Amino acid sequence: MSNQKAIATPTRTKEILNQYGFSFKKSLGQNFLIDANILENIVQHAGVDDHSGAIEIGPGIGALTEQLARHADRVVAFEIDQRLVPILEETLSPYENVTIINNDILKADVNKVIRTQFEPGQSLKIVANLPYYITTPILMKLLMERLPVENITVMIQKEVADRMAASPNTKSYGSLSIAVQYYTEAKVVMNVPKTVFMPQPNVDSSVLQLTLRDTPPVQVTDEEFFFTVVQATFGQRRKTLMNNLSRHFKGKFDKEQLRYKLTASAIDPSRRGESLTMEEFATLANLLYEEPETN
């Protein structure tokens, strides 16, 4: 099994694409990895071993799937592009522990797939080379569905990875950082040059690891409202909290009420959103949520 030449090499990738007359679909953000060492590294960072179940999104022609299949107990991969299914059936034929599901991950019932495909209580990891154009919706869906997985290790655009893992008072820190870190501990585990992809993208990539939290790091009265407050404060990055909040909550809170709530939260109204920690956002959101509607 292991003497088969890795899929993730330039020559083998070209052979497979030529054999099937496959052309890349720009609309699906298809960029295939052609460096087996990087894939090995990703699988190791994810902590995949022979007890693990692995879920992959967008296997392409099976480059990462193959590395997962060599290390994991079982691999289930979601592929939206029907043209790739027969290719994957052939490239992954040496591995009996792989199941390909031809479905859009955004429409899939992932919890149901987990129940039917893996052993109860099995240690699960999500590992993927995600299409850049749809990274955030995919990750937010996976996080909000609170899947029984230990971690999510994904290759994504470097800039987006930096935003998801950012700390307060940095340029990358924003509502996305808080949304991701509410559900997970986020860290960038490696950077990847664009030269290891075919076709080569215009941007560099990073591998981001999200370790799921058992409970969020802050207690909020209402999650949806908490995220609304966070987004409102980043409405216009250069503006103060006071300006952004009064613009967003116009008609609900006047400036006096906002100033009172900010002061009660021990937050200076002239600060900017990027300076607030998640704890400060939670305190503020909980105080604002208590405010009765003003007619």
Q: Which two tokens stand for residue 84?
A: 């790739």
Cα separation values, 107 from 110, 132, 133, Å = 9, 18, 16
CA angle 32, 36, 38 (to 5 degrees): 85
Distance of alpha carbon 242 from alpha carbon 273, whole angstroms: 10
Report whether 31 belongs to an annotated binding site.
yes
Neighbouring-strand partners of residue 66 = none
CA angle 123, 156, 193 (to 5 degrees): 120
**DSSP string computed for 73-84:** SEEEEE---GGG
Do residues 227 and 288 touch, judged by C-beta distance below 8 A?
no
Q: Is 3 helix (H, G, I), strand (E, B) or coil?
A: coil
List helix spans (H) across 84-174: 85-91, 110-117, 135-144, 158-164
Please state, as a whole number, how many other Cβ atoms lie within 10 Å of the Cβ of residue 169: 11
Report whether 79 belongs to an annotated binding site.
yes
φ, ψ (nearest 5 deg) of residue 170: -120, 160
Report whether 280 belongs to an annotated binding site.
no
Matching residue, tokens 């103060």: 240
CA angle 71, 72, 75 (to 5 degrees): 125
Do residues 209 and 46 touch, judged by C-beta distance below 8 A?
yes
Report whether 256 belongs to an annotated binding site.
no
**What amino acid occupies position 151?**
N
What residues form the annotated binding site? 31, 33, 58, 79, 104, 129
What residues form the annotated binding site for S-adenosyl-L-methionine? 31, 33, 58, 79, 104, 129
